[in-house]
């Protein structure tokens, strides 16, 4: 079965082969060969190499798995290497002799192919080698001669883990955390999903699946068991739609039904390796075996319910007896790999008042432990909410029961399950009296456990939960109250509790060293284990700072030489010179401070001299540099070089929106011999810093980073070498073709410059896109669906409420001011430049904008775009126009931030900056709409919702300097002179062309209906030289500003 670009098609062929073997009684070796269609390393249907292998790895009588066709021999290396690493069968490779040329021929010679494939044989990737399209007997002989001197690849020992796949692999190892199964694509688990499916709105129902994946579900459970549905038809229709959505189908599917016909329908739609939910011996062994054989042929894992002919297993003895019997049948008679068996030993409801039910939770936990100890490699799953069904309507008690049950079940070995993570109390935070009552019930520790929990539940109805909890924690000791306040982010009582604790301690410093640090250690542990989210951590830091601020005068008065407890390490943070963006840096600082690291934050626009001078003076242990705009990348390279020149050895951490692991490895790390690494976000910073200061872990960690970055550089260089670039002349010949004579050009209704001072924030706020706001706080999910997320929904709702409260205050008290300036001008394109004119006579050139053109080789007839393509060329005689703008919502932000920081309130300091950013983007959206419908009036009939505006479903584009379509930040200078931006709006430009205030946006308006966003990408030296001439700038200066886009070393 070869040239597989659609794995589902291949699985159908493999299924037919297995059926033939069974019916004929004959067997033959089976060879499988997939086809990678481009440099992304995926099949045409989207699977990665490893996911493809997992999908077909169930094949019986398998001789080999490999790759063929599509790419030439040279491009195959990373993909055959990946396959050889994960496949415990022989591997084959028979590529084309390159890609077809323009005459349909193939260019790779026998010598060239032999050289490439020899290198793969030498590296131990191959067992079989050959050639596909374009190869000749001469090719095969050359390949044969080249590989003959090397031994065949030794098949690796692959650990027998549960391996599933969608477009991407999911491997469940002993180190994998609890696997969350998304249940909302279940007509019984979501009223919204059921309504959409019953109404036939299958496309809309995809949003439910997408939301689950975005919110962290590692498997999605799909169930269509509803009396009013044709379940087979609904399952097929929905799964086929899911398979066409890469952002959903990247995760495995759990095909869920009580009807075998529905399960089999689902299995026939799955290109990946999925999970069947479920089979049991309820109808006897014969049917159980028949279904299991089919599952093996389809290549799926399976959930086995603890049911047999006598019914559901409700005792420990019955659970383990049924599971052991099923395990032996599946492994010994059917041949199902034990790691593909997932037992559900039945989580049943406790505290029903029926004595026989009292041991249900204990029996599940005991059965889980027994399964893990006695049925090797088998997994355990279950539906957690069943255990608390007796207390439906009382979320306070149910959440505590779920949390406590999971705590004990996971300790016993539970691997996965369906659970609403957003409604879980942190186990350590369950009030002691409630935890005791709950565990008495779950663990069946006393005969009156049910009565006592019911009595407690009667007193605490869900709507009174907060008041009860508050009353409870205020009765604790002051040490426990301080810890509780820190974990929950409660500031109301912090000063009085701190004072009470100070009076109890011999020294004020002991309050910090004792309960405050105990509380922050809990916060760090919860955040590190994913049980606490960033907004909560920042609130905790606010509590800590207020308490410490209260204690400082007393500590100083005591004049203790020891001073405040020694921090674990001293870390310097700074936003580099020319850059004003600091929200991410501030969040990292807060998170690290919460973990008892001393933070020296130098703020924004910090010169290299100041960073290194302070680092030496303060004897810091680590330096962290942040930046958002692309010129900051060059600044970081310079700073790293200076650290090397001055003999620094401390670790250098790189972070910020434009930074990346690749840039750090390729451009920054080679310039500094000390440890250098990219840190993705705040949640990773603690792990990285902890390893850097731990003498036992440091060396191995640095070696791991060194090896990783070396591989990144090799891969980067290989990718760069394989890319084909056009000359500038060729790229211009392939520009966007527009029929300008038939284009509808609208003359602006209100040409020239318009200023907007102190624009109404209330109106602007209606245009806010809230999704990036949550991303700022590292809560990932789309607004407003994020509120329904099981994991982060509750915290997102609290964050949103806090944001609304502060936003309302900002608006009502006019704490921020929004200013803007727009200009609409006559314009025409001259090559890749755009001339702007003083008036419609077009005799006087007002200024010139310069654009860059894509130079990568395009396929499928796609053009090499430049923004100038969307303005009518001067030679057409058509009078076109362009718009420019700059807006801010950050005027007045400094005193607000200063006041919050003075109050030790990092939470609101970060919040106000995040809101100002959102208001600035919203202002840009609002003005663009006004331009389209009023000032320029080229799209006056469009009526779009805010969601449609966010998705940019309007005519025209609004690209910004420094972004992919026009990556040159220096173009802002032209815009600033043209609109007198500083005078008209108050926005300044830094030396690196960052805007200040940071909550500012600028850009251009293009009105042509064919205009679309694109990325210039990498460009050649011929274009850089041409661009420098057009801008009258030196080559080295242009190269500095376009460093990230250069396809060559400068």
For residue 557, what pLDDT is reported?
75
Average pLDDT over residues 664-687: 86
**Residue that the structure tokens 């100083």 belong to:** 556
Using the predicted structure, report yes or no on whether residue 463 has a pLDDT greater than 80.
no
For residue 534, what pLDDT is reported?
56
For residue 922, what pLDDT is reported?
96
Using the predicted structure, report yes or no on whether residue 427 has a pLDDT greater than 80.
no
In 437-541, the DSSP E strands lie at: none
d(C-alpha 257, C-alpha 227), whole Å: 12
Map out the domains of the chain with their CATH numbers: 7-148 (3.20.20.330), 162-424 (3.20.20.20), 472-560 (1.10.1240.10), 569-719 (3.40.50.280), 752-1017 (3.10.196.10)
Using the predicted structure, report yes or no on whether residue 295 has a pLDDT greater than 80.
yes
In 394-486, the DSSP E strands lie at: 416-417
pTM score: 0.50
For residue 264, what pLDDT is reported?
96
CA 421 distance to own-chain centroid: 18
Triad 703, 704, 707: Cα angle to 5°: 85
For residues 953 and 499, the model is more confident at 499
The DSSP 8-state label assigned to residue 76 in this structure reads G
Q: Which two tokens stand for residue 144?
A: 């044969």
| R_g over Cα of the chain | 32
Using the predicted structure, report yes or no on whether residue 321 has a pLDDT greater than 70.
yes
d(C-alpha 218, C-alpha 241), whole Å: 19
Identify the weakest region by mean pLDDT among 254-258, 357-361, 1013-1017: 1013-1017
Question: Cβ distance 523 to 532 under 8 Å?
Answer: yes
Tens of pLDDT, residue by residue over 69-101, are 978 898 898 899 989 999 999 999 999 998 877
Using the predicted structure, report yes or no on whether residue 466 has a pLDDT greater than 50.
no
β partners of residue 943: none
β partners of residue 775: none
Cα→Cα distances 496→471, 482, 493, 557, 1023, Å: 16, 10, 6, 19, 67
d(C-alpha 508, C-alpha 481), whole Å: 17
Using the predicted structure, report yes or no on whether residue 944 has a pLDDT greater than 90.
no
For residue 158, what pLDDT is reported?
93
Using the predicted structure, report yes or no on whether residue 630 has a pLDDT greater than 60.
yes
Q: How confident is the model at residue 531 (pLDDT cuts 50, 70, 90)?
A: low
The CA-based dihedral angle spanning residues 612, 618, 620, 625, taken in that order and rounded to the nearest 10 degrees:
-40
- What are the residue numbers of the active site? 579, 581, 632
For residue 70, what pLDDT is reported?
77
Taking Cα atoms as reference points, which of 132, 10, 117, 127 lies closest to residue 71? 132
Phi-psi region of 874 (alpha: psi -120 to 50; beta: other; left: phi over 0): alpha
Identify the weakest region by mean pLDDT among 455-459, 767-771, 890-894: 455-459
Using the predicted structure, report yes or no on whether residue 205 has a pLDDT greater than 70.
yes
Triad 406, 412, 416: Cα angle to 5°: 55
Tens of pLDDT, residue by residue over 743-787, are 889 999 999 999 999 999 999 999 999 999 998 887 888 898 999
Identify the weakest region by mean pLDDT among 201-210, 540-549, 983-992: 540-549
* For residue 899, cis peptide bond before it (omega within 30 degrees of 0): no
Tens of pLDDT, residue by residue over 683-725, are 678 889 989 988 888 988 999 899 899 988 888 887 777 678 8
The rounded mean pLDDT for the chain is 89
For residue 683, what pLDDT is reported?
62
Identify the weakest region by mean pLDDT among 727-741, 807-821, 892-906, 976-990: 892-906
For residue 27, what pLDDT is reported?
93
CA dihedral (41, 42, 48, 52) positive or negative: negative
d(C-alpha 107, C-alpha 175), whole Å: 47
Q: In what order do the strands lie in the sheet with 62-72?
A: 30-34, 62-72, 90-96, 128-129
Question: Cβ distance 125 to 81 under 8 Å?
Answer: yes
Using the predicted structure, report yes or no on whether residue 639 has a pLDDT greater than 50.
yes
Average pLDDT over residues 984-995: 89
Taking Cα atoms as reference points, which of 242, 241, 219, 238 lies closest to residue 229? 238
The CA-based dihedral angle spanning residues 927, 928, 930, 933, taken in that order and rounded to the nearest 10 degrees:
180
Average pLDDT over residues 168-194: 86
Tens of pLDDT, residue by residue over 640-670, are 989 998 889 999 999 987 788 888 998 899 9
Q: How confident is the model at residue 422 (pLDDT cuts 50, 70, 90)?
A: very low
Residue 380: CB partners within 8 Å, gap ≥ 6?
A: 342, 343, 344, 345, 368, 371, 372, 413, 414, 415, 416
For residue 461, what pLDDT is reported?
54
Greatest mean pLDDT among 413-427, 591-605, 618-632 lies in 618-632
d(C-alpha 768, C-alpha 396), whole Å: 34
Neighbours of 448 (CB within 10 A): 9
Identify the weakest region by mean pLDDT among 293-307, 434-448, 498-512: 498-512
Average pLDDT over residues 289-315: 95
For residue 562, what pLDDT is reported?
47
Tens of pLDDT, residue by residue over 261-286, are 999 999 999 999 999 999 999 999 99
The DSSP 8-state label assigned to residue 780 in this structure reads -
Question: Cβ distance 1018 to 855 under 8 Å?
Answer: yes
In this prediction, what percent of the chain has a pLDDT beyond 90? 59
Three-state SS for 535? helix
Question: Cβ distance 279 to 292 under 8 Å?
Answer: yes
Full DSSP string of 559-593? T-TT-SPPPS-EEEEEEBTT----HHHHHHHHHHH
SS3 sequence, 676-708?
EEECCCHHHHHHHHHHHHCHHHHHHHHHHHHHH
Taking Cα atoms as reference points, which of 287, 997, 1015 lies closest to residue 583? 997
For residue 596, what pLDDT is reported?
73
Residue 384: CB partners within 8 Å, gap ≥ 6?
A: 347, 402, 405, 406, 417, 418, 419
Taking Cα atoms as reference points, which of 293, 296, 290, 291 lies closest to residue 278? 291
For residue 564, what pLDDT is reported?
44
Q: Which two tokens stand for residue 497?
A: 């509790």
For residue 1049, what pLDDT is reported?
80
Using the predicted structure, report yes or no on whether residue 965 has a pLDDT greater than 80.
yes
For residue 714, what pLDDT is reported?
86
Question: Cβ distance 472 to 480 under 8 Å?
Answer: no
* For residue 784, cis peptide bond before it (omega within 30 degrees of 0): yes
For residue 464, what pLDDT is reported?
46
Tens of pLDDT, residue by residue over 28-59, are 999 999 999 877 778 888 899 999 999 999 99
């Amino acid at each position: 079965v070869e040239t597989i670009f659609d794995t589902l098609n291949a699985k159908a062929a493999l299924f037919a082969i297995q059926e033939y073997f069974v019916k004929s009684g004959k067997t033959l070796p089976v060879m499988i060969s997939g086809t990678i269609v481009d440099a992304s390393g995926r099949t045409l249907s989207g699977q990665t190499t490893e996911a493809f292998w997992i999908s077909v790895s169930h094949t019986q009588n398998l001789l080999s798995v490999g790759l063929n066709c599509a790419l030439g021999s040279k491009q195959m290396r990373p993909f055959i290497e990946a396959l050889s690493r994960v496949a415990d069968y022989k591997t084959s490779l028979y590529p084309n002799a390159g890609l077809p040329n323009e005459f349909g021929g193939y260019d790779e010679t026998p010598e060239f192919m032999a050289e490439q494939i020899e290198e793969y044989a030498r590296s131990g990737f191959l067992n079989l080698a050959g050639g596909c399209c374009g190869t000749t007997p001469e090719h095969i002989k050359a390949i044969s001669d080249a590989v003959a001197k090397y031994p065949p690849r030794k098949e690796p020992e692959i650990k027998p883990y549960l391996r599933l796949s969608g477009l991407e692999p999911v491997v469940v190892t002993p180190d994998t955390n609890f696997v969350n199964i998304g249940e909302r694509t279940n007509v019984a688990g979501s009223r919204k999903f059921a309504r959409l499916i019953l109404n036939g709105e299958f496309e809309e129902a995809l949003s439910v699946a997408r939301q689950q994946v975005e919110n962290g579900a590692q498997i999605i459970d799909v169930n269509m068991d509803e009396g009013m549905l044709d379940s087979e038809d609904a399952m097929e229709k929905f799964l086929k739609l899911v398979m066409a959505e890469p952002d959903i189908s990247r995760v495995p599917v759990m095909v869920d039904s009580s009807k075998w016909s529905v399960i089999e329908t689902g299995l026939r739609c799955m290109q990946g390796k999925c999970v069947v939910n479920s089979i049991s011996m309820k109808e006897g062994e014969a049917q159980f075996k028949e279904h299991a054989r089919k599952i093996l042929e389809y290549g799926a894992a399976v959930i086995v319910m603890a049911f047999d002919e006598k019914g559901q297993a409700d005792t420990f003895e019955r659970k383990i007896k049924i599971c052991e019997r099923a395990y032996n049948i599946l492994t010994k008679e059917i041949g199902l790999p034990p790691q593909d068996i997932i037992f559900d030993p039945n989580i049943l409801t406790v505290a029903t008042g029926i004595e026989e039910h009292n041991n249900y939770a204990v029996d599940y936990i005991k059965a889980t432990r027994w399964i893990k100890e006695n049925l090797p490699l088998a997994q355990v799953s279950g539906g957690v909410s069943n255990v608390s069904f007796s207390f439906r309507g009382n979320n306070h008690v149910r959440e505590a029961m779920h949390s406590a049950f999971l705590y004990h079940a996971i300790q016993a070995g539970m691997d996965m399950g369906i659970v609403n993570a957003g409604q879980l109390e942190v186990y350590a935070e369950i009030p002691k009296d409630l935890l005791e009552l709950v565990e008495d019930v779950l663990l069946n520790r006393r005969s009156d456990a049910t009565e006592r929990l019911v009595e407690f539940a009667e007193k605490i109805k869900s709507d009174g939960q907060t008041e009860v909890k508050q009353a409870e924690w205020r009765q604790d000791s002051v040490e426990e109250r301080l810890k509780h306040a820190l974990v929950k982010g409660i500031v109301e009582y912090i000063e009085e509790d701190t004072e009470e604790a100070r009076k109890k301690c011999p020294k004020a410093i002991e309050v910090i060293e004792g309960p405050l640090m105990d509380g922050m250690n809990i916060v760090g542990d919860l955040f590190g284990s994913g049980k606490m989210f960033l907004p909560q951590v920042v609130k905790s830091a606010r509590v800590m700072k207020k308490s410490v601020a209260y204690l400082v005068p007393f500590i100083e008065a005591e004049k203790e030489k020891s001073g405040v407890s020694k921090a674990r390490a001293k870390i310097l943070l700074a936003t580099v010179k020319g850059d004003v963006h600091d929200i991410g840096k501030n969040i990292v600082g807060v998170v690290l401070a919460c973990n008892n690291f001393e933070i020296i934050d130098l703020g924004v626009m910090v010169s290299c001299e100041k960073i290194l001078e302070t680092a030496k003076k303060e004897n810091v242990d680590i330096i962290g540099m942040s930046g958002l705009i692309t010129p900051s990348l060059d600044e970081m390279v310079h700073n790293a070089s200076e650290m090397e020149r001055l003999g620094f050895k401390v670790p250098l951490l790189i972070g910020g929106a434009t930074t990346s692991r690749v840039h750090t490895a390729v451009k920054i790390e080679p310039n500094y011999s000390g440890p250098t690494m990219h840190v993705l976000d705040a949640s990773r910073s603690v792990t990285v810093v902890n390893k850097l200061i731990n003498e036992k872990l440091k060396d191995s960690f640095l070696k791991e980073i060194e090896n990783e970055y070396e591989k990144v550089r090799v891969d980067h260089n290989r990718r760069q070498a394989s890319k084909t670039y056009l000359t500038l002349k060729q790229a211009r010949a392939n520009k966007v073709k527009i029929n300008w004579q038939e284009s509808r050009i609208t003359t602006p209704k209100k040409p020239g410059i318009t200023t907007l001072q102190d624009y109404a924030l209330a109106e602007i706020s209606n245009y806010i896109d809230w999704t990036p706001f949550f991303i700022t706080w590292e809560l990932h999910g789309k607004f407003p669906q994020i509120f329904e997320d099981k994991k982060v929904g509750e915290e997102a709702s609290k964050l949103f409420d806090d944001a609304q409260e502060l936003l309302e205050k900002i608006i009502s008290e006019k704490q921020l001011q929004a200013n803007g300036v727009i200009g609409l001008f006559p314009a025409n394109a001259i090559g890749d430049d755009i001339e702007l004119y003083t008036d419609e006579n077009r005799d006087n050139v007002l200024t010139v904008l310069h654009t860059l053109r894509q130079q990568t080789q395009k396929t499928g007839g796609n053009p090499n775009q430049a923004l100038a393509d969307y303005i009518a060329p001067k030679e057409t005689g058509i009078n076109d126009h362009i718009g420019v703008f700059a807006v801010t919502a950050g005027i007045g932000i400094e005193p607000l931030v200063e006041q919050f920081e003075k109050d030790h309130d990092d939470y609101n300091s970060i919040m106000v900056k995040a809101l100002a950013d959102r208001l600035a983007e919203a202002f840009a959206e609002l003005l663009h709409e006004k331009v389209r419908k009023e000032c320029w009036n080229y799209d006056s009939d469009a009526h779009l919702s805010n969601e449609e505006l966010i998705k940019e479903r309007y005519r025209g584009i609004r690209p910004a300097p420094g972004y992919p379509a026009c990556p040159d930040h220096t173009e802002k200078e032209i815009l600033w002179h043209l609109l007198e931006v500083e005078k008209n709006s108050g926005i300044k430009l830094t030396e690196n062309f960052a805007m200040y205030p940071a909550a500012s946006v600028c850009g251009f308006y293009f009105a042509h209906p064919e205009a679309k966003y694109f990325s210039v990408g990498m460009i050649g030296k011929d274009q850089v030289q041409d661009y420098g001439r057009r801008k009258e700038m030196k080559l080295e200066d242009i190269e500095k500003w376009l460093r990230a886009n250069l396809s060559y070393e400068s």
